[in-house]
Chain A
Amino acid sequence: MKYSYYPGCTLKNKAKDLDAYARASAEALGFELEEIEDWQCCGGVYPLGSDEIATKLSSVRALNAAKEKGQDLVTLCSACHHVIKRVNDDMKNVADIQFRANNYLKLDEPYTGETQVLHFLEVLRDRVGFDAIKEKVVKPFTGKKIGAYYGCLLLRPGKILEFDNPENPKIMEDFIRAIGGEPVIYPYRNECCGGYISLKEKELSKSMAGKIMDNAASFEADMLITACPLCLYNLNKSDAKTKLPVYYFTELLAEALGLKEEVQA
């Protein structure tokens, strides 16, 4: 199975691991991520203003590229996923944005939200299946207590992201079970890490991320996993009393599938 793939700016730079482990794991699990040619940065945050058009066009171009290939569009970074999924919803359901964006782009055929956007975790859950992954695990995380950190971008707004229950998600816990670990469910797993505030208000985001990490530690997590480079950064910079290691979920997946050394080499 081939998917169009949108890596995004950070996966080409500071978060190369997130990308490399995902590609290797995908191959081992029988699907291929075909990178969209000439993709442009999604902008990192969804433009909230209902009159914003130009800031949404890079997402529409990626969505249309996938449509032209007849493929679903897979994302990995939580921010890219959030932005592209919400822009797709606009293109499908908001007539004004659909009209104006198509006016700009002058595509051969107007884009009206046809592409299905899937996060890599959704591919694992809905297309590959966690049971099938379990069968391919050669190095299970037996006895490891792993806290899933969702943050905000994958879950909210729930009606548009349709990723999981925004208040009580379980996809990452099911993923942890599939790789043989023991999920730790802690209350702060869907609290915001501070997001972009860590550029100018470093103390504030340190304290926000610190609360999350301390909360996970008090529920006896050994480590945290995330899909978001900014969450990883903020958690690593936190002022938590107990410092837990934070990993991209794809690193643990690749390790469980016995691919980690190969990717690092």
Chain B
Amino acid sequence: MTKAEMQAEKIKEISGTDPYKCMKCGKCSASCPSFDEMDIKPHQFVSYVLNEDIEALANSKSLWKCLSCFACVERCPRDVKPGKIIDGARQLVVREKGGDYLKADEIPELLDEELPQQLLVSAFRRYRR
């Protein structure tokens, strides 16, 4: 197995979804509030996993633009759960040493008086291990 094949398998395993079920209707991308910000769109994520182009996914901006709002998951007629596939790729990155998207040192300058604790714990959980 090549590294890319193994990584694609890992994403399928972490996300627990079957990208082969995708019928490319595009409803996920149409529902996505971050669509304009994404370099690889939600429906394309599914194809990238199928094509085992994992390096492109790991380097994509989209990993950090997904809000985990589950609009795509809710509306997918084939239960492919694109949001979970994106998280699978994000986990692949943040579980690697040095893969953190958020460093503790960055926190002080991101804070303000009203910022809720919920925001810190949520970002920590999504952006790092």
Residues in chain A within 8 A of chain B (CB atoms): 8-10, 13-15, 41, 43-51, 55, 77, 79, 151-152, 155-158, 166-167, 191-192, 194-201, 204, 208, 228-230, 232-233, 236-237
Contacts and interface: CB of A to CB of B under 8 A. Distances in A.
Contacts of A51: 13-14
Interface of B: 13-16, 33-34, 37, 64-65, 67-71, 73-74, 83-84, 87-88, 91, 101-102, 106, 110, 114-127
Given A9-B117, A158-B74, A192-B33, 12 more contacts: A9-B121, A14-B116, A44-B121, A45-B121, A50-B15, A157-B74, A194-B33, A197-B34, A200-B102, A204-B34, A204-B37, A236-B114
Nearest to A233: B116
A131 to B, nearest CB: 31
Contact of A44 (B67, B71, B115, B122): B122
A195 B68 contact: yes
B114 to A, nearest CB: 6
A230 B116 contact: yes
B115 A49 contact: no
Contacts of A152: 67, 69-71
Contacts of A15: 116, 118
10 contacts: A43-B125, A44-B120, A45-B125, A48-B15, A158-B74, A192-B71, A196-B68, A199-B102, A199-B110, A229-B118
B68 A45 contact: yes
B123 A14 contact: no
Contacts of A198: 119
Contacts of B70: 152, 156-157
A51 B102 CA distance: 22
Given A14-B117, A195-B68, A196-B123, A49 B87 contact: yes
A13 B116 contact: yes
B64 A50 contact: no
A47 B64 CA distance: 16
Contacts of A13: 116-117
A43 B70 CA distance: 18
Nearest to A161: B70
B69 A156 contact: yes
Contacts of B65: 197, 201, 204
Nearest to B120: A199
Nearest to B31: A191
B14 A55 contact: no
Contacts of B119: 44, 196, 198-199, 230, 233
A123 B110 CA distance: 36
B91 to A, nearest CB: 5
Closest 6 CB pairs of A and B: A44-B122, A192-B69, A50-B16, A156-B70, A44-B121, A196-B122
Contacts of A166: 74
Contacts of A229: 116, 118
A11 B67 CA distance: 22
B11 to A, nearest CB: 10
B13 A14 contact: no
A124 B121 CA distance: 29
Contacts of B106: 200
Contacts of A155: 74
Nearest to B114: A233
A195 B69 contact: yes
Contacts of B68: 45-46, 48, 195-196
A167 B42 CA distance: 20
